[in-house]
Amino acid sequence: MKSLIYLFDQRLNLITLLLLFWALFWGLDGFDKFFDGEPEILFEKWASKGSVVDADNNVVYTIQPLNPVGWFGVNHEDQMASYFKTIHVPRNTAIGLTYTFAVFEILVGFLFLFLFVWQLLPEEREDKKSMFSDRTLHRLAYKASVILFVILSIAYQIFGDRTRLWEVGTYMLMTLIAYDIWYRTDRFMFDLRRQRLAGIDDDDATNSAQASAYNLNDTQQKEIDNR
């Protein structure tokens, strides 16, 4: 049980969780645009926006709102068409641009998903020279995220939607923070593995307090035993 917990902790480190988060973020946000919600009348009394009464003060009609119903509950076609209408862009063009952007979001989501799966592989993955091991794809994934947020920021500035602009700015800040956390954690894990392979003792003065929490000797001995 103890070894299982250690294995779980090693495989699902902070890097892995960040990659999974962005894979879900971009994947769901991209597919969201292909599964529009359909407007349906919400008949519940608590949702009523008003009522019409007769001379005897009896309720004759109630004003019920439309509620988008579907996987994601938003009709992106109507929403984006209304945005682009403010700058005189035809509806079909607006919808085409929306779906094109969604495809790029999905591609970035899959890139993060591939990185997540690669991160779950045994440490020997680092010994094979590839765009995964030299972190090229990792950097491209985060750069692509920033580019998408920059495009959205420009779009919402043009459309005059300050609320969505604030949301996108927050997400971009999250991306930059996530990249910094990924870089620092990845360097720590890389240095830790290099020290372990070099046979450096846990109590070596060059080890940080965090690195010393990892039992390098036990791991090294296991590698020797496996050989």
pLDDT score, position 208: 47
Q: Is residue 217 part of a domain?
A: no
Q: For position 33, what pLDDT does the model report?
A: 86
* End-to-end CA separation in angstroms for the chain: 24
224 lies in some domain: no
For residue 32, what pLDDT band results from cuts at 50, 70 and 90?
Answer: confident
pLDDT digits (tens, 9 = 90+) for 169-216: 999 999 999 999 999 888 887 777 777 767 665 555 455 444 444 455
Q: How many domains does the chain have?
A: 1
Let me know if residue 126 belongs to a domain: yes
Q: Look at the block and give the residue holding tokens 């949702």.
A: 47
pTM for the full predicted model: 0.73
53-106 pLDDT, tens digit per residue, is 877 778 778 887 777 666 655 677 888 899 999 999 999 999 999 999 999 999
The one-character DSSP state at 72 is S
Q: Could you tell me if residue 144 is inside a domain?
A: yes
The domain of 117 spans 13-37+88-194
